[in-house]
Each structure stands twice: as C-alpha cells, then as structure tokens.
C-alpha cells in the first residue's frame, strides 16, 4: 500500500553533506519535523564503509578513505566546524604514511594529489560512522525520521508545498526541501531514473525563478568521473614487510604508473581484527569498461598481476598470493568535474528549496570539503 507523510523539512540524501546540514540546522530548530530520505541502506553516501555480511569483522572505506581540508580562503565557518569535529573526537589528524609512487627521482616536484592537499583528517571509527556521529551530535537522536532504501524519482511543487514521489509510489510532503545530491536537477537523471524530463525542471518550469534557471543551466556544464574500487580481503597471514602500525597507508601513482597499471591509488586499511584490507581506486575508463566485456575472474587476476608488479621489490609491501577475495564497487558518478556551481545559487526563497554537496565551488569542489562547507553555508541561508 502506498503511504503519505508530511514534514516541515525534507532532506534528500544521507551523505556527509546532508548530515552536516541536518545536525547544524536542527540544533537551532528543534521543534521542526524533519525527515531524511536516502536511496542507500545507511548514511555516508560516497564517504561510506563497506561492512560485509560475508566477511564479518571487516570494515573497508570504499569511497573517500579520509578527508582533506585545504581551506585556501581561510573560511572561518569551515575552520570552526573542523575544530568542533576534532574536539568531539569524531576525527583526528591523519598522520598515516602517504607515498607518491614513481616520483623518487625528484622529490621537490611531486604533484600532490587533490586528495592529500591541505590538512588530512581520519575518522576515529569509519567513514560511515562519521556521518552517523555528525547527525546524532547536538543531542539530535530521535529528532529526525529516516527513510532508507527510498529513491525519490519525481518532484512536484503545488499549493506552496513540495511533494516528493518515491519509486515505490510513496508521497512525502513538506514546506521546505533540501537536495544534497544533484541527481534530480541534472540531465543524468534522464538515464538514471529513466524519465524524459529533469524532475526539478518539471517542478519549476523555466522563467519562474532566475536562480533556479541559472542553476540548471550551469549544471549542464558539470559532468561526473566514473570510478571503480577494488576491495581486497587479504589472507589472514598477509602483513607488511616493515611492521607499519598505523591505521591507513596511502600510495598515489604518478601519471606514468597510472597509465601502466590502471591504478590511481592503493590504500591499505588496518582492520580491528589485525588483518590488512586493501582498496584500489581506478578511474581509467578503458579498464573500467573492460570488466563488462571480460570474464570477472580474468579481470581479478589482472588486478593481482598489476598489484604484484607495481610493488615488486617494494620495501614495505608484500605481494598478494592471488587467492585473496576481491569485491568490486562501481561508482557511476564518483566526483563532479567541470563546472563548480557558485554558492550564491544554493537557496531559492520563492520555492523554499536549498542545495548542498560537493558539486558546489567555494572550497574543495568534488571533495568532502565542499560538501561540508556548502552544508554550513546553507544553514545560514535557511535562517534568512
């Protein structure tokens, strides 16, 4: 049976941006009836942790493994919030070893990866847990309703009220709406949701709100980087050669090595059970596509072969025995690229709709930094 729900504010998405927004907004608006709707099974979005039913005890950060804050503009709001997360012991400075492979010859000209610029932070638990801790901070547990495994496929703005339609046909009504993902605003919705219109464009037709028109037009210039992550559950005896004790260890490949091995970075993640998980990231399109045409087992053997060749003779990393288990995660839209949306387009007063996420510019476009900053900025705009 289809259901109908009514709220003051609905938030679409349960990634880190939505969690930062919800916890900071609710802190001062405790009486509001708020719900968060997320397609996935839990919080975290692209900053999440794979907790496998098959491999008990393993927690692998399979999207963003940590967060790095450059704060080039010394934004005080961002600075204060990161300080707050540190004070609450949700994050700590990430002092893990970070090695650029292929750059030994001239250390001065190492091009730092966009994922390691600025100050790096690690959640004290896992990336998924960080989002949970953020949303439940400020004593907000029980103050917000969650709808997981719920995909919003259509938006209607009628009689001054938002109506969100889920894939299963449930209706969610609210006075205010926040979209922390741009899926319902971007042309990729046509392919992903199999519709013949962009939901927000249909809800607010052209020439009704200049900001919304500009937002949708600019988003047309934004594209997305597909990625794959390979999660390797190593055998129980797999260890480092050098007894490295820290939680994570990052290897970044320079362009030449990335072209040769198809790996962008390799992240070792120490598990609570003492085992070492390995997550390999790739954004090489040909490599990603080849999994569709190849036998999956052959593809996995290729990953082992490339890994072992890459770390041949390395003083800290042992080879894999090739019978470790690999699980593959495909990210159709791992990161926005191209045009970063200006923060000035975050909120439409007329339609009582706000937006946040890593698709905004300002600081850290395409990274957690932008997700956090845009969420903090949106809270300020909602108060106006």
Note the residues at the interface with ligand FAD (CB under 6 A): 12-18, 37-40, 45-47, 63-65, 67-68, 115, 151-152, 180-181, 183-184, 227, 229, 281, 331, 334-335, 357-358, 367-369, 371
Rank residues 254 and 318 by Cβ distance to ligand FAD and give the closer one.
254
Dist CA 357 CA 359 (whole Å): 5
Smaller CB separation from ligand FAD, 223 or 318: 223
- Closest approach of ligand FAD to the CB of residue 317, in Å: 20
Question: Helices (DSSP H) in the chain: which residue ranges?
Answer: 16-27, 76-87, 127-136, 188-192, 199-203, 210-219, 255-261, 285-293, 296-310, 368-382
Give CA–CA dist 197/189, Å, rounded.
8
Closer to ligand FAD by CB, 257 or 267: give it: 267
Nearer to ligand FAD, 201 or 319 (CB): 201
Q: Which is nearer to ligand FAD, 140 or 228 (CB)?
A: 228
Comparing CB distances to ligand FAD, the nearer of 318 and 339 is 339
Provide the minimum distance between the beta carbon of 26 and ligand FAD in the complex, in angstroms, as a whole number.
Answer: 17
- Least separation in angstroms between residue 315's CB and ligand FAD is 25
Residues 6+ apart with CB under 8 A from 9: 25, 32, 33, 34, 35, 174, 175, 176, 177, 178
Residue 144 · residue 22 · CB < 8 Å: yes
CB of 271 to ligand FAD, least distance (A): 19
Answer positive or negative: Cα dihedral of 71, 336, 229, 150: positive
Closest distance of CB 322 from ligand FAD, Å:
24
Contacts of 315-320 with C-beta under 8 Å, sequence gap 24+, read 315/241, 315/242, 316/240, 316/241, 316/242, 316/244, 316/249, 317/240, 317/241, 317/251, 317/268, 318/238, 318/239, 318/240, 318/241, 320/232, 320/234, 320/238, 320/278
Smallest distance from ligand FAD to CB 207, Å: 25
Q: Give the residue with the Cβ less far from ligand FAD, 22 or 183.
A: 183
Q: Which positions ≥6 away from 355 have C-beta within 8 Å?
A: 178, 179, 180, 182, 185, 215, 341, 345, 346, 347, 374, 378
Give whichever of 58 and 358 is closer to ligand FAD, judged by the CB atom: 358
Tell me the closest approach of the beta carbon of residue 236 to ligand FAD, in angstroms. Answer: 26
What does the buried/exposed string (b/e) look like for 77-113 if buried means 16 or more CB atoms within 10 Å of the residue's CB? ebeebbeebeeeebbeebebebbbbbbeeeeeeeeeb
Closest separation between CB of residue 331 and ligand FAD, Å? 4
């Amino acid at each position: 049976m289809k259901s109908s729900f009514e709220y003051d504010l609905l938030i679409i998405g349960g990634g880190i941006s939505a969690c930062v927004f919800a916890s900071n907004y609710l802190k001062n608006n405790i009486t509001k009836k708020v719900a968060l709707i997320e397609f996935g099974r839990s919080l975290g979005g692209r900053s999440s942790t794979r907790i496998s039913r098959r491999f008990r005890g393993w927690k692998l950060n399979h999207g963003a493994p940590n967060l790095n804050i450059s704060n080039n503009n010394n934004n005080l709001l961002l600075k204060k919030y990161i300080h707050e997360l540190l004070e609450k012991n949700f994050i700590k400075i990430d002092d893990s070893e970070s090695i650029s492979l292929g750059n030994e010859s001239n250390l001065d000209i190492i091009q730092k990866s966009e994922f390691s610029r600025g100050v790096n932070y690690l959640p004290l638990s896992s990336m998924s847990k960080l989002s949970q801790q953020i949303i439940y901070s400020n004593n907000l547990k029980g103050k917000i309703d969650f709808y997981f495994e719920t995909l919003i496929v259509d938006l209607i703005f009628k009689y001054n009220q938002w109506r969100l339609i889920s894939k299963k046909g449930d209706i969610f009504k609210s006075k205010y709406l926040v979209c922390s993902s741009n899926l319902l605003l971007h042309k990729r919705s046509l392919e992903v949701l199999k519709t013949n219109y962009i939901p927000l464009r249909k809800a607010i037709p052209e020439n009704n709100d200049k900001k919304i028109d500009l937002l949708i037009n600019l988003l047309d210039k934004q594209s997305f980087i597909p990625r794959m992550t390979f999660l390797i559950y190593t055998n129980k005896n797999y260890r480092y050669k050098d007894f490295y004790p820290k939680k994570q260890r990052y290897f970044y490949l320079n362009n030449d090595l990335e072209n040769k091995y198809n790996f962008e970075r390799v992240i070792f993640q120490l598990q609570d059970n003492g085992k070492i998980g390995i997550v390999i990231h790739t954004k090489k399109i040909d490599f990603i596509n080849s999994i569709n045409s190849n036998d999956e087992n052959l593809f996995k053997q290729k990953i082992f072969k490339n890994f072992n060749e890459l770390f041949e003779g390395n003083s800290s990393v042992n080879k894999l025995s090739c019978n470790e288990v690999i699980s593959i995660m495909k990210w159709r839209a791992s990161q926005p690229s191209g045009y970063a949306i200006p923060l000035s387009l975050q909120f439409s007063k007329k339609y009582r709709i706000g937006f946040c996420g890593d698709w905004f510019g300002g600081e850290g476009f395409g990274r957690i930094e932008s997700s956090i900053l845009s969420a903090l900025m949106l809270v300020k705009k909602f108060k106006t």
